[in-house]
Amino acid sequence: MECEFPSVNSNSNEIEMILKETKTIAIVGLSPNPQKDSHRVGKYLQMSGYKIIPIYPKEDYILGERVYRSLADIKEPVDMINIFRKPEIVNQIVDEAITKGNIKVIWTQLGIVNNEASAKAKEAGMKVVQNHCTKIEHQILKGSL
């Protein structure tokens, strides 16, 4: 898949509302490695009061939270899915989110754009944020950036 420009995306007002209303974030690709962006962002979100749920193929716990292998394995409600995976995987994640139901937001991190998956998520009633870092956007919202 070649690099895309986001044709489906929330604006800054929607991003602010998403960050204020979200309580639980499933982080797909949350690495146990503290040097990785996903780990630093997950830790920041956790320290900022969000409940994080790691989704990762290995490990039992990351950042003190139980790790799940897929979205389907999570029994508790999830408000947002924060994605740290390649753009071509986003379609599969959105399909899982649609099947799970009650997911309000699909958020892809910086450099991750998949307009086809994002359009599908939006059509299913989810808000979509692409190519934005949750940590940076939260810091802007809190005035600490």
Per-residue pLDDT, 144: 64
State the Cα–Cα distance between residues 105 and 127, nearest whole angstrom. Answer: 5
All residues at 6 or more sequence positions from 3 whose CB lies less than 8 Å from its CB, including other chains = 113
State the Cα–Cα distance between residues 23 and 55, nearest whole angstrom. Answer: 17
Per-residue pLDDT, 3: 60
Fold classified for 12-142? Rossmann fold (3.40.50)
pLDDT one digit per residue (tens) for the chain, 145 residues: 456 676 677 788 999 999 999 999 999 999 999 999 999 999 999 999 999 999 999 999 999 999 999 999 999 999 999 999 999 999 999 999 999 999 999 999 999 999 999 999 999 999 999 999 999 999 999 886 5
Per-residue pLDDT, 120: 97
Domain spans in the chain, listed from the N-terminal domain onward: 12-142
